Structure 1
Amino acid sequence: MTTATIAKPWYREFWPWFLMAGPFLAMVGCFITIYFAFTQFSNQPIQEEGLVKRGLVIEQQGAGAARQAAVQSKP
């Protein structure tokens, strides 16, 4: 006489929840990053090597203005 084991439903097992936890945590992190990007840093321009990028307009700053200020400040 052998007794058959009754299989538990998938949602009562450990492994499906463990395997779904990684992608779920990645989605939570993505939503948090998007939230911070839109609420905290949306009004700051992107600055790279003396250039300020605002939309499609790129304004040069730094090199020329810095030289003029240095020349004017010399006695």
Structure 2
Amino acid sequence: MNMSELQTNKPWYKQMWPWLLISGPAVAAIGCMITIYLAINLYADKPVRDGVVKRGLKVEQLKVEQDRK
């Protein structure tokens, strides 16, 4: 038996190439999950800017009442 016959008889999960091809999308999916987690937990309640209120999905400008005398 030569080396090429030994390599082709291995099951797919013992080969290097499937794991190399799977690793790229797996790393991207993990990075996406981390990004979503950070966005929800760290930046969900931050104010948009001064004078603006977020109510649900709607962003409204606060009315500033000035005393006119």
Q: 2:29 aligns with which of 18, 27, 30?
A: 27
Q: In angstroms, what is the RMSD of aligned CA positions?
A: 2.7
Equivalent residue pairs, number: 59
Q: Is the 8 A contact 2:51 2:61 kept in 1?
A: yes
Percent identity reads 39
TM-score, structure 2 normalization: 0.65
Kindly report structure 1 stretches of 4+ aligned residues shifted beyond 3 Å. 50-53
List alignment gaps of at least 5 residues for structure 1: 62-75
Q: 2:67 is matched with which residue?
A: none
Instruction: Name structure 2 gaps, 5 residues minimum.
Output: 64-69
Q: Could you say which structure has the larger radius of gyration?
A: 1
